[in-house]
Amino acid sequence: MKRPRLGILISGRGSNMLAFIDACARGELDADIAVVLSNKPGAGGLEKAAAAGIPTACIDHRDYASREAFDAALVGELERHDIDAVVLAGFMRILTPVFIEPFYGRLFNIHPSLLPKYPGLNTHQRALDAGDAEAGVTVHFVTPELDGGPPVLQARVPVLAGDSAETLAARVLEQEHLIYPLAIRWFLEGRLQLRGDGACLDGEPLPPTGIDFCAQPR
């Protein structure tokens, strides 16, 4: 039986990508990373992926006249690798339907806030500015709405006195590395699905903010 094949898209250092590499190596995720793609030639994660023996490719968005043309090139590269699920791991490009539609229902993102709070950028500073008592991270299906796809899994961390955006981000990142491979494992096991406009786990609709990781037996 063919092992599931993942395509991981990055724009930077690839810390969540490394979490997937580690999860596969430990046997926690029964999958192969078929390719790591970046839109930035100097992305540090490309070198790390290559060092792990994973095929890499760079498709520079600056070489394309439109977002749609760039997205079509991404689709072509992923389809060449026979991908079963696409993992956005710090991929800093807004995707168009040209990319989303071919992978709809098997396209995932991780966003560093407790969605629906704080879609977009600067999430940690926005949580601090609002005086929030907690912050966190959300794994969600990708749909055409920016950071608006159905949440699957959330992890929460307390906001501590004296926190900066950087210290808060570091604690959130630790949780990212735990919950993202878990959500993809559920999907590859056939437990997690996108149905209509909502996410389902084991046939049951998930809450609007997804599952609380702290309360979830793993």
Active site residues: 111
Q: What single DSSP character describes residue 159? A: P
CA distance 109 to 70: 19
Q: Tokens 């989303």 sit at which residue?
A: 100
Task: Give how far Cα 125 sits from Cα of 25, 66, 67, 122, 138, Å.
Answer: 34, 31, 28, 6, 17
CA distance 122 to 120: 7
